[in-house]
């Protein structure tokens, strides 16, 4: 048995007989205080539940079988693990969202090793991004795929942070409009330019790429301006897809977010990433694998599974017993919503809880969407 220490003075304790219930009594050798060792069964069950959730075991393989396991761990399915407040600024933070159909998205912020924050919302918008970012200290560089409302949230929440737009997503944006089945010479050249983004490593190469894009735009300007009249007599752009494909990289060049990773003032402390593959191939890939391994979960349980994964990969997760004591549950949130006047107090905690866990959106259907900026 491990050495026990006095909770009052910190000195070593020794065995001192047994209590009337048959438990071993421990007495401090310094101050004389006595206590018994209590085993927290709920904490052990929570560890068992998380071992199943974050692993690849089936419920039937757990001790006691599937039915016993579900009965003993049913209370843990109500817990919403909330993100900590990260006050130590980092150099690079990756931001991305994992979508669960059309009903919800979990926005996630991470560094190279840990999940720093997560936020549940109905769709990506500036309000949701701001709620996530307000809980994390502003980094030097934020890497993202350019989700809706992110640029606005960055200006308002992390005004001193530089933005690096993921170059792979910039390439994919062009590829979406040109497709791989290139039918025009203009499309083939633009596709080649977008693909070249993935191999740029110096400022000189970046400047050359920008000049090549401008030259391409001038060379094919009249071609892209061609219009076609439909049966209703309205004129539309003949090559609308190419026009949209050109608009995307031009906007990024004008915003100055495409080659932040090459800025001399930033790279003197070490190289910077040009993509957010660290979160796409790290956190998001592991989250999707977990959801596949536990197929059949309801939307709410999938959200909680994502929250649990993020929490257990956060900088300093609390011990299981403390988690059970402080984390909100379905019942505690419902009780607040049922009391008049308490709902306003709950919604005041949105930056801390994460959109108040979008309780009203998950449990009440609204006829109109309320997620536009």
List the chain domain ranges: 1-38, 43-82+296-363, 93-280
CB atoms within 10 A of CB 111: 18
**DSSP helix/strand/coil, 350:** helix
Tokens of 141: 């560089």
The pLDDT of residue 67: 86
The pLDDT of residue 336: 65
The pLDDT of residue 219: 93
- Summarize pLDDT for 221-237 with one digit per residue, the tens: 999 898 888 777 788 88
Exposure string (b/e) for 276-305, b if CB count within 10 Å is 16 or more? bbbbbebbbeebeebbeebeeeeebebbbb
> Which of 361, 257, 249 minimizes the C-alpha distance to 299?
361
The pLDDT of residue 365: 43
Interatomic CA distance for residues 94 and 90, integer angstroms: 11
The pLDDT of residue 357: 46
CB atoms within 10 A of CB 266: 18
Interatomic CA distance for residues 20 and 226, integer angstroms: 94
- The number of angstroms, rounded, from the C-alpha of 146 to the middle of its chain's C-alpha atoms is 14
The pLDDT of residue 269: 87
The parts of the chain modelled with pLDDT lower than 70 are: 1-2, 7, 37-40, 336-373
Interatomic CA distance for residues 97 and 104, integer angstroms: 10
Helices (H), the chain: 41-53, 65-73, 126-133, 150-157, 167-178, 185-196, 203-219, 221-224, 240-255, 264-267, 277-278, 285-293, 299-312, 320-326, 330-338, 342-347, 350-353, 359-363
Q: Is the pTM of this model over 0.85?
A: no
The pLDDT of residue 185: 92
- The number of angstroms, rounded, from the C-alpha of 252 to the middle of its chain's C-alpha atoms is 23
CA distances, 206 to each of 98, 213, 219, 318, 356 (Å): 31, 11, 20, 45, 43
CB-based contacts of 77, cutoff 8 Å, min separation 6: 301, 304
CA distances, 123 to each of 100, 109, 126, 303 (Å): 10, 16, 10, 14
> Which of 158, 155, 252 minimizes the C-alpha distance to 210?
252
């Amino acid at each position: 048995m491990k050495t026990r220490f006095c909770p009052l003075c910190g000195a070593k304790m020794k065995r001192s007989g047994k209590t009337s219930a048959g438990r071993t009594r421990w007495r401090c050798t310094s101050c004389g205080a006595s206590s018994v060792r209590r085993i927290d069964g709920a904490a052990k069950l929570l560890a068992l539940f998380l071992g199943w959730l974050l692993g690849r075991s089936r419920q039937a393989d757990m001790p006691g079988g599937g039915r016993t396991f579900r009965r003993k761990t049913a209370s843990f399915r109500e817990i919403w693990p909330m993100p900590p407040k990260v006050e130590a600024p980092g150099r690079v933070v990756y931001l991305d969202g994992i979508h669960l159909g059309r009903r919800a998205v979990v926005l996630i912020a991470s560094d190279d090793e840990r999940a720093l924050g997560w936020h549940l919302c109905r769709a990506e918008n500036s309000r949701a991004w701001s709620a996530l970012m307000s809980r994390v200290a502003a980094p030097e560089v934020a890497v993202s795929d350019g989700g809706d409302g992110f640029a606005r949230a960055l200006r308002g929440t992390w005004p001193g942070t530089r933005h690096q737009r993921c170059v792979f997503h910039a390439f994919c944006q062009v590829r979406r409009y040109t497709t791989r089945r290139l039918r025009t010479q203009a499309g083939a050249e633009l596709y080649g330019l977008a693909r070249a983004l993935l191999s740029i490593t110096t400022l000189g190469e970046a400047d050359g790429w920008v000049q090549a894009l401008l030259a391409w735009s001038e060379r094919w300007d009249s071609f892209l301006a061609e219009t076609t009249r439909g049966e209703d007599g309205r004129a539309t752009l003949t090559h609308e897809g190419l026009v949209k494909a050109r608009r995307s990289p031009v906007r990024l060049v004008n915003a100055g977010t495409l080659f932040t990773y090459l800025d001399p003032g930033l790279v003197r402390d070490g190289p910077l990433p040009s993509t957010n593959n660290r979160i796409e191939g790290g956190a998001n890939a592991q989250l999707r694998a977990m959801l596949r391994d536990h197929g059949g979960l309801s939307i709410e349980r999938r959200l909680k599974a994502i929250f649990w994964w993020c929490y257990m990969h956060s900088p300093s997760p609390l011990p299981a017993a403390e988690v059970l004591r402080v984390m909100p549950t379905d019942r505690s949130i419902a009780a607040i919503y049922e009391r008049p006047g308490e709902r306003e107090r709950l919604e005041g905690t949105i930056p801390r809880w994460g959109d108040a866990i979008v309780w009203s959106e998950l449990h009440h259907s609204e006829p109109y969407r309320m997620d536009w900026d």
